[in-house]
Amino acid sequence: MTDTTTQPRQIADRLTSPLHDAVYSWPTLLLFVAVGLFVLNTFASPYFLSPWALSDATFNFTEKAIIAFAMALLIISGEIDLSVAAIIALSSTMMGLALQFGVDTPTLVLIGSLTGVACGAFNGLLVTGLGLPSIVVTIGTMSFFRGISFMILGDKAFNGYPPSFAYFGQGYVWWVISFEFVLFVIVALAYYVVLHRTNFGRHVFAIGNNPVAAQFSGVRVARVKFLLFCLVGLMSGIAAVLLTSRLGSTRPSIAQGWELEVITMVVLGGVAILGGSGTIQGVFVAAFVMGLISFGLGLLNVPGIVMSIFIGGLLIIVIALPILANKVRESRA
């Protein structure tokens, strides 16, 4: 005899499970963390709730987050790029070098972006063409790209960017809404669609879970990975345009240490460091969390070296927690 209560219960479970998954998802938990940090920052400084202070807080993460969205796809595919900060330095240097020949603002933006794409393509060729491990390749190119910047500039700096160029890093679209923040939102939406609503995104997940099976299923694994490296390079070049515009100068030490913060942002957003899973929503919220942490520590006059220690510790924790959780589950099973 069939239990008449079983079917309604199953229907109710199907109806409530999407809501349950949304509420208890990692991005939602991160959102609660972001709200908590926001409240704590209001106690840290009476000026935090000023619209202009909140606008300034976005500069702590927008440039890094733009890279993090592309890095998320690359890590989901099972690869990584540690040279992103060095790509920023080289892209900025190429823009500064072109500036000495009197090029206009659109050309400067094009040079910065194309330099990033070229660096990403170089990484991609070494990884997909020669079969070298991406972590080894990008450690090498991290020194290689920044070394070129130091070779060109030495201890000097390029200054004198045109006023129109300053808009990208210092301009506002409306009131306190900066151009950088608007671009950050647009890029987030674009990468959400690419990863979660296209065949290309499904191929990225398939490669991260099992590249051999993906290859036999007709996915062009090498081609997809190469494109992902180019995307990371492009986003690094765009970040170089924004950062150089905001600072108004080019130095070979620009963006030093950013690779650690970008990867921390991605992993904190719930992207598995070994690949195969992750969401753009998580990275989006993680960007706000990282920005609120940096801005809050700045309000408390915490030295930069302490911030670096905190970011490094946070990266270790977010990588270790899933591994420890799996071990606990296995021991209980």
Q: Is the pLDDT of residue 222 over 80?
A: yes
Compute the Cα dihedral for 303, 304, 306, 310 and give only its sign: positive
The single-letter code of the amino acid at 5 is T
pLDDT tens across 157-174, in order?
A: 999 899 999 999 999 999
Assign 3 a pLDDT band (cuts: 50, 70, 90): low
User: Residue ranges of the domains in the chain?
Assistant: 54-332
Which of 81-85, 151-155, 275-279 has the largest mean confidence? 81-85
- Whether 236 has a pLDDT exceeding 80, the answer reads yes
Tokens representing 236 are: 């690094």
Listed in sequence order, the residues at least 6 apart from 196 whose beta carbon sits closer than 8 Å to its beta carbon are 279, 280
Give, to the nearest 10 degrees, the angle between helix 199-209 and helix 221-247: 110
Single out the residue of 102, 55, 32, 42 nearest to residue 289, CA to CA.
Answer: 32
For domain 54-332, the CATH architecture is Orthogonal Bundle (1.10)
Quick one: average pLDDT of 39-49? 81
Q: Give me the pLDDT at residue 2, please.
A: 47
The total number of residues written for the chain in this structure: 333
pLDDT above 80: residue 130:
yes
Contacts of 99 (CB under 8 A, 6+ apart): 108, 158, 160, 161
- The 10s digit of each residue's pLDDT in 11-23 is 445 544 555 555 5
Whether the per-residue pLDDT at 321 is higher than 80: the answer is no
Q: Is 169 exposed, middle or buried (0-12, 13-18, 19+ CB in 10 A)?
A: buried
Q: Which two tokens stand for residue 166?
A: 């300053």
Mean pLDDT of 111-118: 98
Residue with structure tokens 């690419």? Answer: 194
pLDDT of residue 15: 47
**Percentage with pLDDT > 90 across the chain:** 65
- The answer to whether residue 27 scores a pLDDT higher than 70 is yes
Higher pLDDT, 134 or 18: 134
Residue the block writes with tokens 């900025």:
92
Q: Which helix (H) or strand (E) holds 178?
A: strand 177-178
Give pLDDT, residue 209. 95
The yes-or-no verdict on residue 298 having pLDDT over 60 is yes
pTM for the model stands at 0.90
Q: pLDDT higher for 7 or 237?
A: 237
Quick one: average pLDDT of 212-217? 94
Phi-psi category of 270—alpha, beta or left, where left has phi over 0 and alpha has psi -120 to 50?
Answer: left
90 CB neighbour count, 10 Å cutoff: 28
Tokens 């990008």 belong to: 138
| pLDDT higher than threshold 80 for residue 186 | yes
Task: Find the range with the poorest average confidence among 97-111, 286-300, 308-322.
Answer: 308-322
pLDDT of residue 1: 43
Write down the mean pLDDT value for the chain. 89
256: left (phi over 0), alpha (psi -120 to 50) or beta: beta
* pLDDT digits 0-9 by tens, 66-97: 999 999 999 999 999 999 999 999 999 999 99
